[in-house]
C-alpha cells in the first residue's frame, strides 16, 4: 500500500507493484470542495482505467471518495504519480490498495440484504453499537450506514448483507431484545426495490391517525362513557368480537342528537406528525386512505381535511336528527378492513406488496397481515407481536424512515 498526503511529515512507502489486471482501490480523503471528483476521474480516464466501482460520502464537510479501477501494469503506471501530485495540490490524502482479483469483487449471487432502521428522539452510540453487534453475531456485515433525519426525530439506516449462513430470524430476535432494553424503535426489513416503491398507505383512524377513540368521545358527550369504554378496551385487546362490541356500544348511544358528531370533530386532535406525514406521501405520489371501525360521519370530514383519497367506516343510523344506536350496511370489522385494503389496491392497480397498513388494535390484524408492510403504531402487545414491525414513537413521521425516505428527499419534492 502506498500513502500520500499534503502533510510533508508523512512517510511514503515504495510504489505499488502487482500483476497485470488486478484491481486498485483508490481512496481520497480530506476537506470537501467542488471539482475533486471531476479532477480524479479525468486523470483515470486519460489513463484508460477501467472503472469497476465508485462511492463518495461527505460527512460534516469531510470527503471520503473511493474509485475501484483496473490498470494494465499498475506498478509502473504513470497515473499513480499523477494521482499523488494532484491530491497534494488539492490538499487531500491518498491511499492506494491492491485488492483481490476483479472476479472476487463481483456481487455474489444469493447474498441476502436487509435494512435496519433505528428511530428515536436521539439515536445514541449505545443503540448503534448494540445493533452493529447483533449484525456481526448473526453472520451479517454492515455495507452502509446513513442518517435519514435532520430534525425532531433521529433515524439511522443500516444496510446489511449476509450469505445463506447468516441468520435473519435470530437477527430480528436480537434487535427486538435491544428495542425492549433501550429507548429506540428498531425495524428489520428485506432490502429490495419494493421497500422503496410502496404506493398505497392505509391507516386506522382511532389512536392512529387521531389521538382519540371516537366512540368513547361520543359516549362522553352522551353521558355513557364508562359503559362504552369498558367494551372498547375488551375489543381492542381481542377479548370480544368486534361486531358484537360495536353492536353493544352503538346501542348505548341511542338518543344522542346528530350534532354530537360536530361536537366530536371539534375535539379531535391529529396524532403528532399526521398532517406532515400525509402531505409528504401525497407529494411523493402515494395514494392514502383511512379505514376505520369508527364512524363515517367523522372519518369523511377528516378525509376531506387531510386530502386523503379514501375513507371507509361504519355508518351510524340517524333518524329525525337523533342517533338510533344501529349501524347501517356492512360492519367495518377486522375481515372487512383487510378486504377494503385489497379492493383499493386493485382499483389503483397496485400490488399488495406495494401497500402499507398502519394500525394499533386487534381489529387491524388482518389488514396489517394482508399489506406488504404492516406497521403496529403504538399498538397493543398482541398487535406488535403479529405485525411486520412496530413504531412506538408518538409521531407518524417515523413511518417515513421505514421507507428509506430522507428529510432532504422531502425538501426536494417540496421545492
Active site residues: 204, 206
Q: How far apart are CA 67 and CA 48, in angstroms?
A: 14
Report the phi/psi class of residue 204: left, alpha or beta, with left for phi > 0 and alpha for psi in -120 to 50.
Answer: beta
Which residue is it, cell 460520502?
Answer: 57
Q: Which residues contact 407 (CB under 8 A, 6 or more apart)?
A: 148, 149, 150, 151
Of 316, 298, 300, the residue nearest 253 (C-alpha) = 316
* 8 Å CB contact between 226 and 233: no
Residue 393: exposed, middle, or buried by beta-carbon count in 10 A (0-12, 13-18, 19+)?
buried
113 forms beta bridges with: 161
Q: Which three cell numbers stand for residue 199?
A: 404506493
* 8 Å CB contact between 199 and 285: yes
Query: Quick count: other Cβ atoms within 10 Å of Cβ 227?
Result: 13
Q: Which three cell numbers stand for residue 233?
A: 378496551
- Distance, CA of 17 to chain centre: 46
CA dihedral 70, 75, 77, 79 (to 10 degrees): 70
* Host H or E run for residue 117: strand 112-120
Q: Which long-range contacts (CB under 8 A, 24 or more apart) does 364-367 make?
A: 364/204, 364/334, 364/337, 365/334, 366/334, 366/335, 366/337, 366/338, 367/202, 367/204, 367/291, 367/334, 367/337, 367/338, 367/341
The dihedral through the CA atoms of 38, 43, 49, 52 has a sign that is negative
Amino acid at each position: 500500500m502506498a500513502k500520500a498526503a499534503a502533510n510533508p511529515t508523512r512517510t511514503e512507502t515504495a510504489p505499488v507493484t502487482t500483476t497485470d489486471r488486478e484491481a486498485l482501490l483508490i481512496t481520497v480523503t480530506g476537506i470537501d470542495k467542488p471539482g475533486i471528483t471531476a479532477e480524479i476521474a479525468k486523470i483515470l480516464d486519460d489513463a484508460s482505467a477501467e472503472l469497476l466501482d465508485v462511492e463518495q460520502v461527505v460527512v460534516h464537510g469531510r470527503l471520503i471518495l473511493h474509485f475501484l479501477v483496473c490498470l494494465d501494469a499498475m506498478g509502473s503506471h504513470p497515473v499513480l504519480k499523477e494521482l499523488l501530485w494532484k491530491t497534494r495540490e488539492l490538499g487531500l490524502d491518498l491511499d492506494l490498495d491492491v485488492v483481490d482479483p476483479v472476479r472476487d469483487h463481483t456481487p455474489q449471487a444469493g447474498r441476502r440484504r436487509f435494512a435496519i432502521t433505528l428511530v428515536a428522539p436521539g439515536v445514541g452510540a449505545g443503540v448503534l453499537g448494540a445493533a452493529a453487534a447483533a449484525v456481526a453475531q448473526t453472520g451479517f456485515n454492515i455495507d452502509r450506514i446513513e442518517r435519514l433525519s435532520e430534525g425532531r426525530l433521529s433515524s439511522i439506516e443500516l444496510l446489511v448483507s449476509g450469505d445463506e449462513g447468516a441468520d435473519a430470524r435470530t437477527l430480528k430476535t436480537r434487535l427486538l431484545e435491544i428495542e425492549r432494553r433501550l429507548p429506540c424503535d428498531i425495524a428489520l426489513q428485506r432490502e429490495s426495490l419494493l421497500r422503496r416503491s410502496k404506493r398505497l398507505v392505509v391507516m386506522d383512524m382511532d389512536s392512529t391517525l387521531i389521538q382519540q377513540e371516537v366512540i368513547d368521545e361520543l359516549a362522553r358527550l352522551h353521558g355513557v362513557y364508562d359503559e362504552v369504554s369498558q367494551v372498547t378496551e375488551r375489543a381492542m385487546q381481542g377479548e370480544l368480537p368486534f361486531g358484537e362490541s360495536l353492536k353493544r356500544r352503538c346501542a348505548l348511544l341511542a338518543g344522542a342528537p346528530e350534532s354530537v358528531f360536530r361536537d366530536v370533530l371539534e375535539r379531535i386532535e391529529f396524532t403528532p406528525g399526521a398532517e406532515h406525514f400525509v402531505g409528504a406521501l401525497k407529494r411523493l405520489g402515494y395514494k392514502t386512505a383511512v379505514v376505520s371501525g369508527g364512524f363515517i360521519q367523522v372519518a369523511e370530514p377528516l378525509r376531506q381535511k387531510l386530502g386523503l383519497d379514501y375513507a371507509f367506516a361504519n355508518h351510524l343510523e340517524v333518524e329525525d336528527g337523533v342517533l338510533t344506536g344501529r349501524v347501517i350496511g356492512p360492519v367495518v370489522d377486522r375481515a372487512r378492513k383487510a378486504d377494503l385494503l385489497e379492493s383499493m389496491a386493485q382499483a389503483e392497480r397496485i400490488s399488495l406488496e406495494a401497500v402499507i397498513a398502519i394500525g394499533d388494535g386487534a381489529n387491524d390484524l388482518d389488514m396489517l397481515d394482508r399489506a406488504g408492510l404492516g406497521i403496529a403504531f403504538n399498538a397493543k402487545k398482541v398487535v406488535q407481536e403479529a405485525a411486520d414491525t412496530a413504531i412506538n414513537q408518538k409521531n407518524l413521521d417515523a413511518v417515513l424512515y421505514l421507507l428509506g425516505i430522507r428529510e432532504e428527499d422531502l425538501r426536494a419534492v417540496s421545492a
